[in-house]
A = this chain, B = another copy of it.
Amino acid sequence: MSNSRHDQIESTLARRFGRETVNYFSGSPLNRLSFLRANNLFLQAALKHPNTSVLLLKDLAPLVQDASKLAYATYDQVRGFIGENPFEKNEEELIKNYNSSITLPLVLFLGINEHQLEGFEYDVYKGKPYFAVDVTPKGTVKKEASNVIEPMMAKGLSFIERHQNLKLSAPEAAIFAQARALIDWNSRNQFCAGCGQSTLSVNAGSKRVCPPTDYAHLSIDSSKTETFNTPHQRLSCVTRYGISNLSFPRTDPAIISAVISHKSDKILLGRQRSWPKNMYSTLAGFVEPGESIEEAVRREVWEESGVNLGRVVIHSTQPWPYPANLMIGTISQALPDGETIHLEFDPELEDAQWFALNEVREALNVEANLGEIPNGEEECKGKLRLPPKTAIANTLLRVVLDELLPEIHKL
């Protein structure tokens, strides 16, 4: 799969709609080979290959060389924690052998990088395998997890999270996003939302099932006697009959919109109370069930600012791994009589304002005005401060100012 080639090729769609925008956290160099996650022979071979890279996360923070570079472990460095062969059993066998009193380390298969051909081959698939392991010390393998972490620390590596200003290259950010989102989902879903019983990770971290039996000697019904040879039956659960979305990772779609005024001469921005001084951004919010993206944009913008929108155009999207959002970037335009700002409907924003195009352009062009982390007010050169280049809000504002409005004004 030629994931990284798509933006270099001429096509009628590219000529008509321009080149595709690849936002930060997307553009992964990995082919996920999602259909092989159920193939435990493939997973075994991929995990044990000497060139395989294993990303470690502790409390959702990745192991890094420094803020700009991920550090990878090898299978040999984690086998004492994950076991000689975590993919020995297939899904059916894992479910049959389920014992809720044993902590099974989470080993995710992320994919293979087909541009790094370093000897791994399986069937027609060739490339460097990538895995991720959650090494947060917990449960019955607390000590074994620490035994992986300590040698890494001794080498000067560290685990750092977002608030410490992770600055990964775009391809590494995409690998981290996938690992973080999936480990977070597995951590949050230790129990079945359908019946309340504990769940089990299968398919290399991309599915959780609610097993019908359990070898743990702690029975729900204490009147029954059991031996270790006979697992106890668990309560019936609806997720075992047919396909349930509760078994698969959750992704929360969210909209974000660069709103232009009816005359295309102003841009609507809002600010949250907790943000640094002078910081504004495009409006955003979660999509609700039974709602299209376009409707969600009109609802959120009206609720937060009182502005009534007409046409909504979807521009590009961005995975956002805090915890597993899908940011859907749009450009939209206010109705001629819909531009009055009202903050009293949903009082989520501290302020919302229409900004002149020049003011937004200037803020985007002054590097010191961009950033998630307050750099100290003296570094903010203008009145207005905007999100950093890694945020889709920044992309959308640049597209409006540099591509869309000049093109519209030409017409």
Contact surface of A with B, Cβ cutoff 8 Å: 1-3, 5-7, 9, 11-17, 19-20, 22-23, 25-28, 31-32, 34-35, 174, 177-182, 185, 188-198, 206, 238, 244-246, 248-253, 260, 262, 264, 286-295, 298-299, 302-303, 308-319, 321, 323-324, 326, 328, 331-333, 335-336, 338, 345-348, 404, 407-408, 411
CB distance from A198 to the nearest CB of B (A): 7
A-B complex: 7 closest residue pairs judged by Cβ atoms: A178-B290, A181-B289, A191-B196, A26-B292, A35-B346, A177-B290, A13-B311
**Are B248's CB and A28's CB within 8 A?**
no
Query: Within the complex, which residue of B15, B27, B197, B310 is in contact with A11, where a contact is CB–CB below 8 Å?
Result: B310
- Measured CB to CB, the nearest residue on chain B to A239 is B188
Contact B310 A14 (CB under 8 A): yes
Q: How far is the CA of A16 from the CA of B332 in the complex (A)?
A: 12
Give the CA-CA distance A190 to B312 in the complex, in Å: 36
Most buried by B among A11, A28, A35, A318: A11
Besides A7-B311, A25-B292, 17 other CB < 8 A contacts? A1-B299, A5-B335, A9-B310, A11-B311, A13-B260, A14-B333, A35-B346, A185-B289, A188-B238, A191-B195, A206-B288, A245-B324, A287-B326, A290-B319, A293-B317, A293-B326, A314-B316
Please name all residues of chain B whose beta carbon is closer than 8 Å to the beta carbon of A244 when the two chains form the complex: 188
Q: Return chain B residues, CB-CB under 8 Å to A31.
A: 299
Given contacts A286-B248, A290-B180, contact A34 B298 (CB under 8 A): no
| Whole-angstrom CA separation of A196 from B335 in the bound complex | 47
| Copies of this chain in the oligomer | 2
Q: Which residue of B lies closest to A182 (CB)?
A: B289
Could you tell me if A194 and B188 are in contact, using CB atoms closer than 8 angstroms? yes
| Nearest B-chain residue to A194, judged by Cβ | B188
Interface pair B193/A12, CB less than 8 Å apart: no
User: Which residue of chain B lies nearest to A302 when distances are taken between CB atoms in the complex?
Assistant: B1
Q: What are 23 A-B interface contacts by the 8 Å CB criterion? A: A1-B302, A7-B311, A9-B336, A13-B310, A22-B294, A25-B290, A26-B295, A35-B346, A178-B289, A178-B291, A180-B290, A181-B290, A182-B290, A185-B289, A188-B238, A188-B244, A190-B195, A190-B196, A196-B198, A250-B289, A292-B317, A292-B326, A293-B326
Are B314 and A292 within 8 A (Cβ)? no
Q: Pick the contact of A191 from B179, B193, B288, B326 — CB < 8 Å?
A: B193
Q: Return A24 CB to nearest CB of chain B, in Å.
A: 10
Minimal beta-carbon separation of A96 from chain B (angstroms): 22
Chain B residues within an 8 Å CB radius of A9: 310-311, 335-336
Find A252's partner among B251, B260, B348 (CB 8 Å cutoff). Answer: B251
- Chain B residues whose C-beta falls within 8 Å of the C-beta of A299 in the assembled complex: 1, 3, 31-32, 34
- Minimum CB distance partner of A289 in chain B: B181
Least CB distance from A28 to B in Å reads 7
Q: How far is the CA of A92 from the CA of B342 in the complex (A)?
A: 28
Question: How far is the CB of A100 from the nearest CB of chain B, in Å?
Answer: 11
What's the nearest-Cβ distance from chain B to residue A395, in Å? 12
**Contact residues in B for A248 (Cβ distance below 8 Å):** 252, 286
Chain B residues within 8 Å of A331, by CB: 13
B251 touches A288 (CB 8 A): yes
Shortest CB-to-CB span from A132 to chain B, Å, is: 10
Assess the B289–A249 pair: CB atoms within 8 A.
yes
CA A345 to CA B33, docked complex, whole Å: 8
A35 to B286, CA, bound (A): 13
Residues of B within 8 Å of A194, CB to CB, are: 188-191
Please give, as numbers and ranges, the residues of chain B lying within 8 Å of A1 by CB-CB distance: 298-299, 302, 308
